[in-house]
Amino acid sequence: MLFKLLKESPNINVKVFGSPKEKELAEQMLGTPSLKKYMDRVENHVGSLTLEQVAEEFKKCSHFVGHDSALGHLAKEVGLASLTVSLGTVRPIETAPYGINTFVLSPKTKCFPCFPDTECNFFQCHADLSYQAVTEIIRGFVVDEDINFETLKGKVSPFHLDSLNIYRFGPSNTGWYAAENIGDGESSLNESFRDILKVALTYKMEEIEENLSFPKISKSTSEQLSHLRGGIEQLYQLCEFGKKYSKDVIVEISKDAPSIERIKELGDKVQEVDQLMDLLPKAYPLLRTITDFYKVMKSNLYGENIVDIGESSYLVYNDNSVLCSLLYELIGNTVSTTESGSHNIGHTKEGNA
């Protein structure tokens, strides 16, 4: 890729950075015969600079291309246009640098991203980012100052483009930074639900309406979302039971002669609800994010007495119930309106929302 970039772009100069452990590897890479005639345009700083010195060198550059790493975030902090290549265990949306003129390239490999203890001998995620596609993406990013997917389609085979995602980071209508997939492929189940969950949480927690384009989804993904919607309905019902039993505890305690046996019975019911909520992600794995979040909230109930704790418990179940209502509606809108050709994920303000 470096050879092709230097050969086809005579006005580009390259600086290479890395840790001392990568010094030998960098020397081997830059010592290949094909790069010899271009080495007057390459500076090798691998293993020879402190982070402070790297930052000073970055200030002399205009673009950064590299992995999701400390150097990548440093480059963004300095203000460089940034293209991050996400592979292996990296979560491209969660951990990549955010900012203006920032892009992230990631594979569509089913097992990506993996975990640090995942055994892998094939590295399919690396193979899914072909050098043909990556080279042309870098060229557009550096030379044309942009990555245009329509231009890429005229230069790179669909076979190579269909195996990757390209995200552009920038401010959304809320003013927050967000990732936009600039490709024209179909969104996976995880990608679709991530956007839906983001809209719901933004509205639920900040009362801010974020309008995202409806994802382009396959029939299979539409069916999976509909199945997930059933799990959200079950979670909503469990939350309603949790609200009821929490409220009943408060009512019982408020009586002149509260029944300890009744309070214990209701406490057992609340515990049963929590246990069922823990089991739900086994049938609907994408609900794990929601159930884990509210498990943390339940473990941090506040109050100086049983009444206060009961009220706190009720509010946690109510919050979860409202979120489920939003998700149920948004998924329904996504499945139905995607088929009819609507454009934005949206929700009404009526009802539980």
User: What is the per-residue pLDDT across 126-158, written as a single tens digit (0 to 9) for each?
Assistant: 999 998 999 999 999 999 889 999 999 999 999
Radius of gyration of the chain (CA): 26
- What is the model's pLDDT at position 236? 97
Q: What percentage of the chain reaches a pLDDT higher than 70?
A: 95
The partner residues of 16 in beta bridges, in order of sequence, read: 44
pLDDT at 184 over 90: no
- Tell me the three-class secondary structure of the chain, residue by residue: CHHHHHHHCCCCCEEECCCHHHHHHHHHHHCCHHHHHHHHHEEECCCCCCHHHHHHHHCCCCEEEEECCHHHHHHHHHCCEEEEECCCCCCHHHHCCCCCCEEEEEECCCCCCCCCCCCCCCCHHHHCCCHHHHHHHHHHHHHCCCCCHHHHHCCCCHHHHCCEEEEEEEECCCCCEEEEECCCCCCCHHHHHHHHHHHHHHHHHHCCCCCCECCCCCHHHHHHHHHHHHHHHHHHHHHHHHHHHHHHHHHHHHCCCCCHHHHHHHHHHHHHHHHHHHHHHHHCHHHHHHHHHHHHHHHCCCCCCHHHHHHHHHHHHHHHHHHHHHHHHHHHHHHHHHHHCCCECCCCCCCCC
Looking at residues 266-292, what average pLDDT do you find? 94
Looking at residues 271-295, what average pLDDT do you find? 94
pLDDT at 347 over 50: no
Chain centroid to CA 134: 21
- What is the model's pLDDT at position 202? 87
Looking at residues 117-124, what average pLDDT do you find? 91
pLDDT at 206 over 90: no
- What is the model's pLDDT at position 349? 39
Residue predicted with more confidence, 114 or 306:
114
pTM given for the model = 0.79
Looking at residues 183-196, what average pLDDT do you find? 87
Which of 54-63, 90-99, 112-121 ranks highest by mean pLDDT?
A: 54-63
- What is the model's pLDDT at position 339? 61
pLDDT band with cut points at 50, 70 and 90 for residue 348:
very low
CB count within 10 Å of CB 298 equals 17
Burial class (CB in 10 A: 0-12, 13-18, 19+), 154: exposed
Lowest mean pLDDT among 19-28, 77-86, 216-225, 273-282: 216-225
- What is the model's pLDDT at position 343? 52
User: What is the per-residue pLDDT across 217-238, written as a single tens digit (0 to 9) for each?
Assistant: 888 999 999 999 999 999 999 9
User: What does the mean pLDDT of the chain come to?
Assistant: 90
pLDDT band with cut points at 50, 70 and 90 for residue 80:
very high
pLDDT at 338 over 70: no
pLDDT at 66 over 70: yes
- What is the model's pLDDT at position 37? 94
User: What is the per-residue pLDDT across 302-332, written as a single tens digit (0 to 9) for each?
Assistant: 888 888 888 999 999 999 999 999 999 999 9
User: What is the per-residue pLDDT across 13-48, written as a single tens digit (0 to 9) for each?
Assistant: 999 999 999 999 999 999 999 999 999 999 999 999
Q: What percentage of the chain reaches a pLDDT higher than 90?
A: 70
Closest CA to 291 of 315, 273, 269, 312: 273
Measured in degrees and rounded to the nearest 5, phi and psi for residue 256 equal -60, -35
- What is the model's pLDDT at position 73? 95
The torsion of the CA quartet 174, 108, 140, 24, rounded to 10 degrees, works out to 110
Question: HSE (CB half, 13 Å, CA atoms) of 226?
Answer: 10
The partner residues of 168 in beta bridges, in order of sequence, read: 103, 180
Report the distance separating Cα 306 and Cα 298, nearest Å: 14
